[in-house]
A and B are shown apart, each in its own frame.
Chain A
Amino acid sequence: MSDAPLVPADDGGAQPVRARGLVKRYSEVLAVDHIDLNVGAGDVYGFLGPNGAGKTTTLRMALGLITPTEGVVELFGRDPLRHGAAALEGVAGFVEAPRFYPYLTGRKNLELLAALDGDGARERIDEVLGVVELAPRGGHRVGGYSHGMRQRLGIAAALLRRPRLLILDEPATGLDPAGMRDMRLLIRRLAGEGITVLLSSHQLPEVQELCDRVAIVDRGRVVYEGALADLRRQGGAGYRLRTTDDARALAIVRSQPGVEHALSGEHGVSFQAQESDVGALSLALAHDGIGVLALTPELATLEDLFFRLTEANGAAPGAANGSAASTAIPPPGASGNGESPAGSAPVLHDAAGTP
């Protein structure tokens, strides 16, 4: 048994993560509702969603820790439920906070995990402790480690496996700003070395900075999956306008050709438009005797888009279903407050990547 190869066949260039129709139901609670995921080789893939959206449950299913009620997830073409440990070959990471034996030292914990990895992992312990800068504390019991040190030990434990796919669940949670920065640098470095990273995070700036593709989940469903650049582009370039008479200005904005999603809010009027149409709008406002106090361009951030997607999903369940044919992204400000956007919303890619 000890000398058996971990995998019977070569990966054949299979996709690092491929999930189809994943469902997890706990009695009456539908934690994950037909999630599809496509993480390609070399992706730094952000997995986003509010608390309770189903992110961690999905990652647990990916690692074979829990059994899907329906659907299948494959890592490099192998299903953890059918192939067991063989499916985790080349895969490492942690779900929720990394857990270790508090009565063992950091080094002993890594020795234990290296023994359970085989493949000469033990020889890499010094190396990975150095990478996460825990070498001086390696001889101390984990019970005395800070949260940040445990997170770093979790990364070290993952690197022992020389992964080709790294699954990280909120790796920066609980870290101080310097720790978060270092974690970002490390992830970027890992990605730079060709490791595919599936990163679940609440830190939207972190995802925006690191990830090239994202899936946004809400209430167990994917509301967006695709390139981050596409998401931001389709979120549209927005403007915010403050005038001497916002009520009349709103009517003029809405009447202008090329202007969409005009809304009146506490901080003035927001809308989406091409730059050329904004010029015409400013002339129209002046023509009607309305003074422009401020006209500011606002490029949608991931945070804006995230809240627009997830809060709109909460306002109209099913309207933003990633498994449906298309997903409409609500305009800025339309977060279930009853205001209706003017004009039609841009369409996001669905889970299969179709516009």
Chain B
Amino acid sequence: MSSVAASPALPAPGAAHPRRPSTLTAYRWELRKLVSQKRTYLGLVLAIALPVIFVVFQNLRQRHDHADNIFASQITQSGLATPVLMLLFLSVFMLPLIAALVAGDIVAAEDGNGTLKTILTRSVNRGQVFAAKALAAMTYAVIAVFLAAAVATVGGVVSWGFNHVTTYSGTVVSAPEALLLVFAANACYLIPLLTVAAIGVLLSTATRNSAAAVVGTVGIVILLFIVAQIPGLEAVKPYLLTEQFENWHGLLRTPTDWAPIWHSLWVCALYAGPALLAAYLVFLRRDVAGG
């Protein structure tokens, strides 16, 4: 700044009524920030690597013994069994972990780095910033789910062909229909997974600590799994978030069993709604002094 007192000219003071940026603008920038961070790719690498490892391992196996799961028994007959199996495996722990990695970090990291105060002194309201962050965390979860599904589908089809599959009810469905069911099953799984992300956003906002929020989110998932195993608590089991991870199974029956999906919708709303509302209120009222 040695010649700072001279030129170039300073921007003239602003107009009295500038236009406020939209929440969509803030959301786009949240995504750009995610894209620019290395840690973002950790979860996505897991989402890609696990289906790849699965397909490679299955290709290397000489024998495929009879399996209890109907899709496991079809693994070498149709590549479309692979994404269903992967969803079955990843839905329990890995995808909730991946969703928690970003959701638990998205507010706390900015608080810790002091950049939250940087963006809160611009022309967007706190509500807009919160909405953009929550949407970005959920977008990441959606991308992780469909990335894992896409890799599993491509890997399965390349290895074992684009063939028909037999569903849980014993009905044979054509390959295109099976592909559609794979997509729909992953979409249904997003209902509980986005709820996990909402809990992650709440913990991220409330704890102001990324590690605590990520571990806390995963901890809640594990806790609910344990609760589901406790004898005598069968009555609460249908209302546990973790029980909704299997809501998509109804799609793989003929006729389609929509009941678990509708059930998961309102059960998850009971978790996600209060979590997001609490996170929003905490974010609106909190003192931002970090960094």
Contacts and interface: CB of A to CB of B under 8 A. Distances in A.
Nearest to A193: B10
A157 B18 CA distance: 17
A162 interface: yes
B89 interface: no
A251 interface: no
Most buried by A among B20, B26, B114, B288: B20
B286 to A, nearest CB: 9
Q: Which of A60, A84, A133 has the most CB of B within 10 A?
A: A84
Given A90-B14, A112-B33, A117 B115 contact: no
A160 B123 CA distance: 12
Interface stretch (A47-55, A96-104, A220-228, A263-271): A96-104
Contacts of B125: 84-85
B120 A64 contact: yes
Given A88-B123, A99-B118, A131 B2 contact: no
Contacts of B32: 112
Name the residue in A66, A101, A130 with the highest tally of chain B Cβ atoms < 10 Å from its Cβ.
A101
Given A6-B123, A88-B122, A118 B19 contact: yes
Contact of B22 (A1, A85, A186): A1
Contact of A1 (B1, B23, B114): B23
Contact of B123 (A112, A118, A128, A186): A118
A250 to B, nearest CB: 48
Given A117-B21, A152-B1, A179-B1, A161 B118 contact: no
Given A85-B122, A104-B36, A115 B10 contact: no
Nearest to A183: B1
Interface string B31-42: 011001110000
A96 B291 contact: yes
A332 interface: no
A288 interface: no
Contacts of A163: 13-14
Given A65-B121, A128-B11, A186-B5, A6 B36 contact: no
Size category of the B interface is 35 or more
Contacts of A1: 20, 22-23
A119 B123 contact: yes
A185 interface: yes
A226 B14 CA distance: 28
B122 A117 contact: yes
Contacts of B60: none
Interface residues of A, number: 71
B98 to A, nearest CB: 20
A282 interface: no
Contacts of B18: 5-6, 89, 117-119
A261 B271 CA distance: 71
A28 interface: no
A97 B114 CA distance: 9
B117 A162 contact: no
* Most A C-beta atoms less than 10 A away, residue of B2, B4, B18, B287: B4
B114 A99 contact: yes
B111 to A, nearest CB: 11
Given A98-B118, A116-B29, A183-B1, A85 B20 contact: yes
A93 B11 contact: no
A159 B10 contact: yes
B25 interface: yes
B123 A127 contact: no
Interface string A275-312: 00000000000000000000000000000000000000
B193 to A, nearest CB: 26
B5 A185 contact: yes
A89 B11 contact: no
Contact of B285 (A67, A108, A189): A67
Instruction: Name the residue among A3, A97, A98, A131 with the largest chain B CB count within 10 angstroms.
Output: A131
A97 B291 CA distance: 9
B114 A164 contact: no
A92 interface: yes
5 contacts: A6-B123, A84-B125, A115-B21, A116-B124, A157-B118
Across the A-B interface, give the 7 residue pairs with the lowest CB-CB distance, nearest first. A2-B22, A119-B18, A99-B114, A162-B14, A182-B1, A66-B287, A116-B122
Interface of A: 1-7, 10-11, 57, 60, 63-67, 84-86, 88-104, 108, 112-113, 115-119, 124, 127-128, 130-133, 152, 157, 159-164, 178-179, 182-183, 185-186, 188-190, 193-195
